[in-house]
Structure 1
Amino acid sequence: MASLASILQALFLVPLTLLPIINPVGVAPIVIDAAGNDDRVLKRLSRQVAINGWVVIVASMLVGTYVLDLFGISLPVVRVAGGLLVAFSAWTMLTRHEEADEVQTAIAEDASADLSEAEIVRRSFFPITFPLTTGPGCIAAAIALGAQFPRQPLPYVMGAGIAAIGAAITAAVVYLIFRNGGRLLMRLGEVGTTVMMRLMAFVLLCIGIQILWTGWTDLNRMVP
């Protein structure tokens, strides 16, 4: 039972950590506009964004720490930088909406034409997958999760496999929210959507400060 509980905890650690940072409800309106309110395009676009997001998350967890070692960057520094980015993004969401509106309008202006498969793949990565969905804060958090994998071969493979499944759950939630975003937003309404985005932004701000504080504490422990 203890091992099953630990497996379940590790399985849901990834979505519980990353989904507040990703904030798919806040990104959903941009995805809907990018699809030109076409249900068929929205389905394909949502699926491709979910696949792209899964690849980015898994790659960050598996190779992120090795890239940091290559450049001599410590994990506490990544946590401080990631915390700053997350907190800044959350503060921007709380206080400023002009830039997001400009991005959303620019995407919507080019969404009226029927999108080809190649165009959907291109648009699904930039700007929807990166930086709107799996941005720097999400990548930094994924690297921090990957740094907790055991270094022994068999436990590492097991931990990486469980984390990959957790990333798949995260991608599935993102897909469902993007795919059904129109219905969700219609039920919430303009006021409900604004309130939801503000609440998620506040939670995201708290997460960013927590990541920053954890990294700062680890840096202080490294000082002789």
Structure 2
Amino acid sequence: MSEAFNTFLLVLAAIFPIVNPPGSALVFLALTRGATPETRRILAGRVARNSFFVLVCSLLLGAVILKLYGISIPVLRVAGGLIVAVAGWKLLNEGSQKEREASADSDKRTDLLDQAFYPLTLPLTTGPGTIAVVISLGLSRASYTNSTDEIVFVLASLAAVIVISATVYLCFAYADRVQRLLGPGGTDIAVRLSAFILFCLGVQILWSGGSELLKSVLPAAP
């Protein structure tokens, strides 16, 4: 039980800061401006469910899929970092435009529900940085020689993923309360700060992957 609890805390501590449900909720709020609370809760449920499956598939099958297609984790980080940075940049510059479009369009509900996976789940919630970390955690299963230890690792990791998915739902479903608390001006400031952090996170992921690729092709320094 002690080993299972330690694994649970390790996985939770590794994934939670990258997923960052409270911070992602502000971006989610900006992308769902004009949506009713009911629509936002439906979206939150779908995003939480999608996030759960993305994390579980990355944990159990991620290494196999990357090996099958010959994709390395540094390449995954570079490609994903570009996507996250572009998403953050667009939101940073078009936040007010999104707000006007949302308030002017009365048929936005269907369009928003269609965005439950992209971009609300990927790359907003479980982006390439999260996937790379989860795949790295999944690779550690190879170090277990005892099948019992491997089962404990998988079950503890699944428990951590469930907790993260539940937190995503709660933060996203009740993001409108943050809007009421901060007001229109405060919400706009918070959203733009979150968008800037999202952009910086994308650049960091891109830099991390690019550095590893450069180290693999450049000769080692004397």
Asked if the contact 1:18/1:142 (under 8 Å) is kept, the reply is yes
Taking a change above 3 Å as real, the CA distance of residues 164 and 128 of structure 1, as seen in their structure-2 partners, is same
After TM superposition, the structure 1 stretch with the greater mean CA deviation from structure 2, 21-30 or 87-96, is 21-30
Taking a change above 3 Å as real, the CA distance of residues 163 and 21 of structure 1, as seen in their structure-2 partners, is farther
Q: Aligned match of 1:90 in 85, 88, 91?
A: 88
**Identity, % of aligned pairs?**
29
Structure 2: distance between partners of 1:69 and 1:102: 45
Taking a change above 3 Å as real, the CA distance of residues 203 and 123 of structure 1, as seen in their structure-2 partners, is closer
Unpaired segments of 5 or more residues in structure 1? 112-118
Taking a change above 3 Å as real, the CA distance of residues 30 and 198 of structure 1, as seen in their structure-2 partners, is closer
Shift of 1:216: 1.4
Taking the TM superposition and a 5 Å limit, the aligned residue runs for 1:32-181 are 33-34=34-35, 37=36, 39=38, 42-97=40-95, 100-101=98-99, 104=102, 108-111=106-109, 124=113, 126-135=114-123, 138-148=126-136, 149=138, 150=140, 151=142, 152=144, 156-181=150-175
Unpaired segments of 5 or more residues in structure 2? none
After TM superposition, the structure 1 stretch with the greater mean CA deviation from structure 2, 180-189 or 2-11, is 2-11
Structure 2: distance between partners of 1:155 and 1:108: 53
Structure 2: distance between partners of 1:215 and 1:21: 26
Shift of 1:110: 4.4
Structure 2: distance between partners of 1:64 and 1:16: 20
Shift of 1:102: 7.3
RMSD of aligned C-alpha atoms? 3.2
Q: Please report the TM-score for the alignment, with normalisation by the length of structure 2.
A: 0.76
Counterpart in 1 of 2:176? 182
Counterpart in 2 of 1:14? 15
AA matched with 2:160: G
Asked if the contact 1:31/1:128 (under 8 Å) is kept, the reply is no
Shift of 1:8: 1.9
Structure 1: distance between partners of 2:57 and 2:159: 13
Aligned length: 210
Asked if the contact 1:32/1:178 (under 8 Å) is kept, the reply is no
Asked if the contact 1:22/1:138 (under 8 Å) is kept, the reply is no
Structure 2: distance between partners of 1:168 and 1:107: 35
Structure 1: distance between partners of 2:121 and 2:101: 14
Taking a change above 3 Å as real, the CA distance of residues 48 and 89 of structure 1, as seen in their structure-2 partners, is closer
Shift of 1:166: 2.9
Counterpart in 1 of 2:186? 192
AA matched with 1:129: F
SS of the equivalent of 1:135 reads: helix
CA deviation string 1:52-76 (max 9, x = no partner): 2211222233222222211111111
Asked if the contact 1:90/1:202 (under 8 Å) is kept, the reply is yes
After TM superposition, the structure 1 stretch with the greater mean CA deviation from structure 2, 102-111 or 146-155, is 102-111
